[in-house]
């Protein structure tokens, strides 16, 4: 069974605290963050 959203958030926090290695490549994270900002600005879902 794939990990749930909460597990992903915990892992993200561990990466920020330098307790774990990132799962995604940095390029993927940049795309995700860009989509978050675009969604916030437009009020719409961003599909890539």
Model pLDDT, residue 2 = 57
Model pLDDT, residue 41 = 96
Q: Is the pTM of this model over 0.85?
A: no
The rounded distance, in Å, linking the Cα atoms of 45 and 1 is: 26
Domain assignment of residue 32, given as a range: 23-48
In a domain, 4, yes or no: no
In a domain, 7, yes or no: no
The rounded distance, in Å, linking the Cα atoms of 36 and 38 is: 5
Model pLDDT, residue 13 = 92
Q: How many CA atoms lie within 13 A of 12 on its CB side?
A: 9
Domain count, the chain: 1
pLDDT digits (tens, 9 = 90+) for 1-44: 456 778 888 988 999 999 998 876 667 778 888 999 999 999 99
In a domain, 45, yes or no: yes
Burial 22-41 (b: 16+ CB within 10 A, else e): eeeeeeeeeeeeeeeeeeee
């Amino acid at each position: 069974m794939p990990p749930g959203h909460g597990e992903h958030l915990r892992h993200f926090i561990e990466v920020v605290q330098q307790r774990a290695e990132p799962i995604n490549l940095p390029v993927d994270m940049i795309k995700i963050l860009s989509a978050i900002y675009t969604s916030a600005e437009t009020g719409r879902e961003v599909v890539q």
